[in-house]
C-alpha cells in the first residue's frame, strides 16, 4: 500500500500567500489553517504546466472560442472514464460551472419559477436562483450513520406547478455521496412526471474514491431515458486537477436550440473562456489520468485519517465521503451553538454548514499535504474537546 510520501507531487506545496489565494487570504495574519473553499494546495500536474508553457510560448492571447481539440478531449475523457459517449458538437466552453448553473436558471425557467435541489448543498445552488429572479426549493436529504439518501416523500411534497428545473449535484457536495444508478433512474421518472428539466453538476465525477469497491459515477445524461437525453451536464477539470483559477468549464447541451441560446442567456455578462484555461483543460482530459490516479490514492488515505480523527473526537460524526476531498462533519452532538466559530477559535478555518443550508455542520477540505491535514485534525479535536 503506497503512502502519500511516495507521491512527491502531493507531499509539499508552494506558499500561496501573496498570490491572491481566496483560501489562504481569508484568515491572513492569524493562526487559522484554511480548510474551507474547495481547491487543493497541490501544484498542478507537470503535464498541464508543460501545456500551459507551450501555449504561453505561442504568445498571442486574442479572443478565443472553443479550440478544435477542446470538445473531442472532453468526449474522449468521458468515454474512457465513465463509458459515456457524447457528441462533441453538444459541448460549449463556459468560464465556470457556477456560471453554467446560472445560465440554466435563465434558459430553462421563467421569472418566479422554482428550481428544486437537495440540501445540504454547495452554496451557489441556494443563492443563484434568487439572483436570477427564480425561487429555490430545498429538499432535505435523509441521513443515517453511514449514508445520505434521497427522501422521495419530501421530494414529492416539494414539487409544484411552478417547479421547472431540478439541479442535481452529482457526486454531491458537501456529503460526498455518489448517486446510484437506481437513484438517477427514479429521479428521471420523477422529473418526467412533473415536466422538470434536469441539470447535473458533475464537477466532482473524477474524484470517486471507492471505485475499487464498486462505487462508480454514472453520468445522469447517460441513462436511457428521455429526461436524461435532454439533460444539461456541467463539468470541468478544475476540482480534479486543481485549475479553478483558470476558469474553464464545459456544458454539454444536447438540444440544439438551447445550445444556440446558451451564450446569449448570459445577457452580455459572461466572458469567453481564456486561452490558458482551454489549454489546461485539454491537457488534463487527454493526459491527466496517471496524476489523477495518484491523487485518488492520497485522498482516500486522507478520507480515512479524517474518519479516524472524527471517531476519536466525542460527539462529532461524519458519513465517509464516497467522492470528493471534503468531509461533512456533524457537530450537533457537541452542543456547540456555533461550530464554525468553535473551529476558528481552535485555529481551523472550515466552511460553515449554515451556508449549505444546514446549521450544526462544518465542511473540511482534506486536499493538502498529509502533515498539514494531521495538524488540522488536531485542531478539530481541540475545537470540540469536552469541557
Ligand atoms: C458542486 C460544485 N459545482 C461547482 C463548483 C465551482 O465550479 P466553478 O469554479 O467552475 O464555477 C464547485 C466548487 O467547489 C462545486 O463544488
> What one-character-per-residue DSSP string does 120-183 give?
S--THHHHHHHHTT-EEEEEEPEE-SS-EE--HHHHHHH--TTEEEEEEESSPTTT-----HHH
C-alpha 312 – ligand 1 centre gap (Å): 31
Which atom from ligand 1 is nearest to the alpha carbon of 249? 10
Q: Among all chains, which residue has been given the C-alpha cell 481539440? A: 69
Nearest CA, atom 14, ligand 1: 38
C-alpha 386 – ligand 1 centre gap (Å): 35
Q: In a mutational test of the pocket of ligand 1, which residue from 37, 100, 118, 122 has the highest number of ligand atoms less than 8 Å from its CB? A: 122
In total, the chain counts a number of residues equal to 387
Strand 326-330 relative to strand 361-365, pairing: antiparallel
- Averaged pLDDT score across all residues of the chain: 96
Report the pLDDT averaged over residues 259-284: 96
Q: Is the separation of the CB atoms in 194 and 186 below 8 Å?
A: no
C-alpha 385 – ligand 1 centre gap (Å): 33
Dihedral pair phi/psi, residue 291, rounded to 5°? -60, -45
Dihedral pair phi/psi, residue 137, rounded to 5°? -115, 120
pLDDT value for 161 = 98
Strand 163-169 relative to strand 197-201, pairing: parallel
Using CA atoms of 98, 191, 356, 241 in order, give the dihedral in degrees to the nearest 10. Answer: -40
pLDDT value for 6 = 56
Which atom from ligand 1 is nearest to the alpha carbon of 96? 10
Nearest CA, atom 13, ligand 1: 38
Which atom from ligand 1 is nearest to the alpha carbon of 324? 16
C-alpha 314 – ligand 1 centre gap (Å): 32
Q: In a mutational test of the pocket of ligand 1, which residue from 201, 203, 277 has the highest number of ligand atoms less than 8 Å from its CB? A: 203
Chain segment 151-172, per-residue pLDDT in tens:
999 999 999 999 999 999 999 9
Chain segment 2-26, per-residue pLDDT in tens:
554 556 789 889 999 999 999 999 9
pLDDT value for 9 = 81
C-alpha 240 – ligand 1 centre gap (Å): 11
Report the pLDDT averaged over residues 87-92: 98
Q: In a mutational test of the pocket of ligand 1, which residue from 97, 101, 236, 246 has the highest number of ligand atoms less than 8 Å from its CB? A: 97
Is residue 134 over pLDDT 90? yes
Ligand 1 residue neighbourhood (C-beta within 6 Å): 38, 96-98, 122, 169, 173, 201, 203, 236, 238, 244, 249
Q: Where are the beta strands (DSSP E) in 195-302?
A: 197-201, 232-235, 249-252
Which atom from ligand 1 is nearest to the alpha carbon of 98? 11
C-alpha 387 – ligand 1 centre gap (Å): 38
C-alpha 378 – ligand 1 centre gap (Å): 28
Chain segment 205-233, per-residue pLDDT in tens:
999 999 999 999 999 999 999 999 999 99
Q: Is the dihedral of CA 254, 257, 262, 266 positive or negative?
A: negative
Distance CA 75, CA 2 (A): 31
What residues contact residue 282 under an 8 Å CB cut-off, 6+ apart?
A: 51, 67, 69, 70, 73
Task: Return the exposure string of 242-268: e unless at least 16 CB atoms fall within 10 Å of the residue's CB, then b.
Answer: bbbebbbbbbbbbeeebbeebbebbee
Amino acid at each position: 500500500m503506497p503512502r502519500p510520501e511516495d507521491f512527491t507531487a502531493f507531499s509539499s506545496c508552494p506558499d500561496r500567500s501573496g498570490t491572491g489565494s481566496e483560501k489562504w487570504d481569508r484568515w491572513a495574519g492569524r493562526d487559522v489553517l484554511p480548510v474551507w473553499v474547495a481547491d487543493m494546495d497541490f501544484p498542478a500536474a507537470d503535464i498541464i504546466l508543460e501545456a500551459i508553457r507551450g501555449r504561453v510560448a505561442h504568445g498571442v492571447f486574442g479572443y478565443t472560442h472553443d479550440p478544435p481539440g477542446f470538445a473531442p478531449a472532453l468526449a474522449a475523457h468521458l468515454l474512457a472514464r465513465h463509458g459515456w459517449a457524447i457528441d462533441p458538437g453538444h459541448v460549449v466552453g463556459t468560464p465556470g460551472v457556477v456560471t453554467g448553473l446560472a445560465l440554466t436558471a435563465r434558459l430553462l425557467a421563467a421569472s418566479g419559477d422554482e428550481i428544486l435541489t437537495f440540501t445540504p448543498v454547495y452554496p451557489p445552488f441556494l443563492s443563484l436562483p434568487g439572483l436570477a429572479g427564480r425561487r429555490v426549493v430545498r429538499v432535505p436529504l435523509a441521513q443515517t450513520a453511514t449514508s445520505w439518501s434521497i427522501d422521495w416523500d419530501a421530494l414529492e411534497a416539494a414539487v409544484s406547478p411552478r417547479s421547472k428545473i431540478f439541479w442535481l449535484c452529482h457526486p454531491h457536495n458537501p456529503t460526498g455521496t455518489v448517486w446510484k444508478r437506481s437513484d438517477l433512474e427514479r429521479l428521471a421518472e420523477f422529473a418526467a412526471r412533473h415536466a422538470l428539466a434536469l441539470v447535473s453538476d458533475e464537477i466532482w465525477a473524477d474524484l470517486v474514491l471507492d471505485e475499487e469497491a464498486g462505487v462508480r459515477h454514472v453520468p445522469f445524461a447517460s441513462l436511457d431515458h428521455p429526461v436524461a437525453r435532454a439533460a444539461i451536464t456541467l463539468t470541468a477539470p478544475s476540482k480534479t486537477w486543481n485549475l479553478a483559477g483558470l476558469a474553464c468549464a464545459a456544458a454539454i447541451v444536447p438540444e440544439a436550440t438551447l445550445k444556440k441560446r446558451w451564450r446569449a442567456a448570459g445577457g452580455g455578462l459572461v466572458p469567453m473562456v481564456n486561452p490558458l484555461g482551454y489549454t489546461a483543460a485539454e491537457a488534463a482530459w487527454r493526459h491527466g489520468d496517471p496524476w489523477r490516479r495518484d491523487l485518488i490514492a492520497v485522498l482516500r488515505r486522507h478520507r480515512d485519517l479524517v474518519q479516524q480523527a472524527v471517531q476519536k473526537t466525542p460527539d462529532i460524526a461524519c458519513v465517509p465521503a464516497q467522492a470528493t476531498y471534503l468531509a461533512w462533519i456533524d457537530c450537533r452532538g457537541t452542543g456547540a451553538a456555533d461550530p464554525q466559530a468553535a473551529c476558528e477559535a481552535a485555529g481551523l478555518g472550515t466552511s460553515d454548514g449554515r451556508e449549505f443550508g444546514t446549521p450544526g455542520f462544518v465542511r473540511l477540505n482534506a486536499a493538502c499535504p498529509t502533515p498539514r491535514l494531521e495538524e488540522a485534525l488536531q485542531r478539530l479535536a481541540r475545537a470540540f474537546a469536552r469541557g
